[in-house]
Structure 1
Amino acid sequence: MRFVCDGVEVWITHIGGYPGRYNPAVKTDIFKNPPGLFICGHSHILKVIYDDKINCLHINPGASGRSGFHAVRTAIRFVLDKGEIKNLEVIELEDKGKALV
């Protein structure tokens, strides 16, 4: 899914890979028409990487579900403001689903 939110073009997909190892299903399009923010998952591994080859912030928020091989449940919160991505925050979730302080 691609859309624009507060001046940032966002692309969200399940399996997307990451800079240097994009999934073949998105690789051609991401280089031809890069978004400002690329969000994907599947690996359950939290990663935030700026891809300077295409001027795009890549975010994999990890995993917030209770099943899977991940040891810590995570989510990411950020602000889109007039074309800028800022105030990125990693949130670790307890087993009861409450955010850790």
Structure 2
Amino acid sequence: MADQWPRWWEIMTEGLGAKLREVRTAKGMSLRSLAQALGVSASLISQVEIGKTQPSVSTLFAMANHLGVSLDELVGNVPTAGPSPVAPAPQRRTLRPSGALQSTP
């Protein structure tokens, strides 16, 4: 199992570099400004973006948090746009113990 961990991590973070660069540039951030905010080197951010290295889990979490995206979005596991599968509060219905559906006020 220990031998599978590095390969699993590589597969999970395969599209990370391109997505990281896309999100970072869309937010108007430079490599240096993101690196400084995260407390890492600009070289590390660059190497992640070109796929030369993978960040630690804590750095990956910090990247997502600072850029305002989910971890799933950053590693490419969910679309960046589209309708939410969760209905807005005014459109939700409640199932009552009697089995009847009632719209939420």
TM-score (ref. length: structure 1) = 0.24
Q: Which has the larger radius of gyration?
A: 2
